[in-house]
């Protein structure tokens, strides 16, 4: 049985993702929620949203886990195998939907998931360094 508190928390987490153009860590999400719910509830909501294909998980180059809203609009089959960009300066992670990474696998391997993360400077940091 769902509680009102959980529904309110889930709605608040969804609003955080709607407002964000970059991937967010659990800590960043918790800060934006201003005490609406505890950290365990946030993890449960994130798990539920991943299971429902509303968000996906990204492991950053430094091992930090971040979450981003899924973009369903242009894909017939929903997959998360797209590239991500990790800015070395501001540490934001952005989904790159239009980048098509490629790889060649030996014939005796079966790929089930791909995690491509490119790193460098994002447009904001690149422009501020000019």
Between 66 and 129, the higher pLDDT residue: 66
Helices (H), the chain: 4-19, 26-33, 39-51, 123-128
pLDDT at 60: 77
Element (H, E) at 59: strand 55-59
Task: Find the mean pLDDT for residues 84-102.
Answer: 84
pLDDT at 118: 87
Q: Convert the pLDDT of each residue in 32-70 to its tens digit.
A: 999 999 999 999 999 999 998 899 888 877 788 899 888
Per-residue pLDDT band at 79 (split at 50, 70, 90): low
Sheet harboring 83-87: ordered strands across? Answer: 93-96, 83-87, 116-120
Backbone angles phi, psi at 40, to 5 degrees: -65, -40
pLDDT at 1: 41
Percentage of the chain exceeding pLDDT 90: 40
Please name each of the domains of the chain with its CATH number: 4-128 (1.10.10.10)
Q: Convert the pLDDT of each residue in 106-115 to its tens digit.
A: 999 988 777 7
The torsion region of residue 113 among left (phi > 0), alpha (psi -120 to 50) and beta comes to beta
């Amino acid at each position: 049985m769902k509680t009102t508190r959980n529904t309110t928390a889930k709605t608040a987490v969804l609003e955080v993702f709607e407002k964000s153009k970059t991937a967010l860590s659990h800590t960043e999400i918790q800060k934006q929620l201003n005490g609406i719910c505890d950290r365990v509830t946030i993890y449960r909501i994130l798990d539920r949203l991943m299971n429902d294909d509303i968000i996906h998980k990204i492991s950053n180059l430094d091992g930090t886990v971040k979450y981003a809203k899924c973009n369903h609009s242009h894909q017939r089959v929903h997959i998360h195998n797209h590239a991500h960009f990790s800015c070395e300066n501001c540490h934001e992670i952005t989904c790159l939907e239009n980048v098509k990474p490629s790889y060649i696998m030996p014939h005796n391997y079966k790929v089930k998931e791909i995690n491509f993360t490119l790193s460098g400077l994002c447009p904001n940091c690149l422009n501020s360094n000019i």
